[in-house]
Structure formats: structure tokens, C-alpha cells
Amino acid sequence: MRQIVLDTETTGLEVLNGHRIIEIGAVEVINRRLTGRTFHKYVNPERDIDDGAKEVHGITEAFLADKPKFADIWPELHTFLQGAELVIHNAPFDVAFLNAEIDQLSKTRSGGPRRIEDFCEITDSLVLARGKHPGQKNSLDALCRRYMVDNSQRDLHGALLDAEILADVFLLMTGGQAQMFTAGAAPEQQTEGSKQQQGGDFNTHALRVVQARPEEVAAHQAMLDLMDQQSDGQTLWRR
């Protein structure tokens, strides 16, 4: 199962007022494992950015002046998304902007899809969160607090960072456990530590055993309790 967790930043909130995409970030997940493959582009919207939008993402017209237009990044984006299930938080917003960009392309190019739904399945993680946590806040920040996902770097919204954070939240929310390592990633994307672990080149007699402190054990048990709650008691660590 191939899923792409996706987020966009835009010039404003209303696609019907001609606002456009200025950043796209996407993270690939296959069989509930982060692969390490991502897509990230800034886009020149050829229009002004609302002041309110700048306060959210911090992206300016000057920064985007030399960036490619949506038509320039579309072939690569289309290939990356083709046939995947897209996981988007508040999907109608991002889908509307993507479809507006695709529709603009269709007016100058013959053939090809007219909507993102023509070649991708859409899953709205906000709808899933509201179903699991009715009557509670289900913004991405609120979900990070609920599932203990670190979002300390999220001072401003950024499409790739938000997609990476949402991927962790989505895996925890839907399965109780998330694979945080880049299993299946290309060798150049793996850390030296992960390569050593995969190679098994350890001198076990030289390893020093460090016992967990009581507060660390308590924190670990609290995380397992949360995983049990979210997975109906199917946490592998307690089997």
C-alpha cells in the first residue's frame, strides 16, 4: 500500500479569489513505513501573497521570484503522486487548490487529468481525527500533543515539515505504532548508525549495558498505554 502524506502553502485562503499554491511538501509511506522519499518545491504564484498568509508561513513574493511555476513542477509532481492514496489534513482545502492548478494546465495542454481525484485516492486525516476524538481539538498541533509527536520546530507552517509531522501523527492515529525509521530508503538517505545496524557489525562483548532510570521506565509505560488505547490492546511490545 503506497500512501503520500501531503501539505501545501498558499497565497491566501480562497481559491475562488484566484489564490494559488506557493509550496508543496509530500512524504512517501509504503506498507506503513516511511521510505525516506519526499517531494518538496516552492512555486512562483505570479501574484501577491496576502499579509495574513505571510504571518502563517513566512513566505514572501521576493523569495518566490526565482522559483519555478506550477507548470514547471507538474510532471515531477504527477509522477510522484500517481496512483497513491493521498493523506491530507483538511483535504478539501488542499485538493481545491491542486485542482485549480491542474485545471489551469488543462486549458493550455491537451489530455492529462483534470482533477487530483482522477489518479489518486484522497483520505482526510482531519475527518479521521474527528471520528476518533469527537468534541476535541483536532488541529495538527493538537494531535501532536495528543500523540506525543515532537513539533517543536513548527514556529511557522511549512509544507514539507507539516507533511512529515502529519505522517507520524497519521501512523500513530491509525495503527497505534509508527515506524519512525526510513526502512527501504536509499543508502545515501540512511544514517551511519542505521547502516551499522543493518549490517550487524557489532562487537557485542564491548557493549556497555545502561539501565533505564525509573522516570524513563514510567515514560515508556505511559507511551505503551497510549499505544494500547489506540490499537485496542494490540501493542507488539507487550506481547
Q: Where are the domains of the chain?
A: 2-175, 205-239
Write the pLDDT tens digit of every residue in 40-74: 999 999 999 999 999 999 999 999 999 999 999 99
Is the pLDDT at 151 greater than 90, yes or no? no
Concerning whether 78 is annotated as a catalytic residue, the answer is: no
* Segment 101-116, tens digit of pLDDT: 999 998 777 667 789 9
Task: Compare 196 and 90 and report the one with higher pLDDT.
Answer: 90
Which residues sit opposite 130 in a β-bridge? none
The pLDDT of 212-219, averaged and rounded, is 77
What pLDDT is recorded for position 239?
Answer: 66
Listed in order, strand segments (DSSP E) in the chain are: 2-10, 21-30, 33-42, 85-88, 121-124
pLDDT value of residue 176: 56
Distance CA 176, CA 230 (A): 5
pLDDT at residue 11 in the model = 97
Q: Which of 4, 8, 161 is nearest to 97 (CA)?
A: 8
The topology under which CATH files domain 2-175 is Nucleotidyltransferase; domain 5 (3.30.420)
Three-state secondary structure call for residue 181:
coil
Exactly one of 78, 133, 157, 220 is catalytic; name it.
157
Nearest to 45 by CA among 71, 76, 26: 71
Amino acid 60: pLDDT: 96
* Mean pLDDT of all residues belonging to the chain: 85
Tell me: pLDDT of 193 over 60.
no
Alpha helices in 58-189 (DSSP H): 61-64, 70-81, 91-106, 125-132, 140-147, 159-175
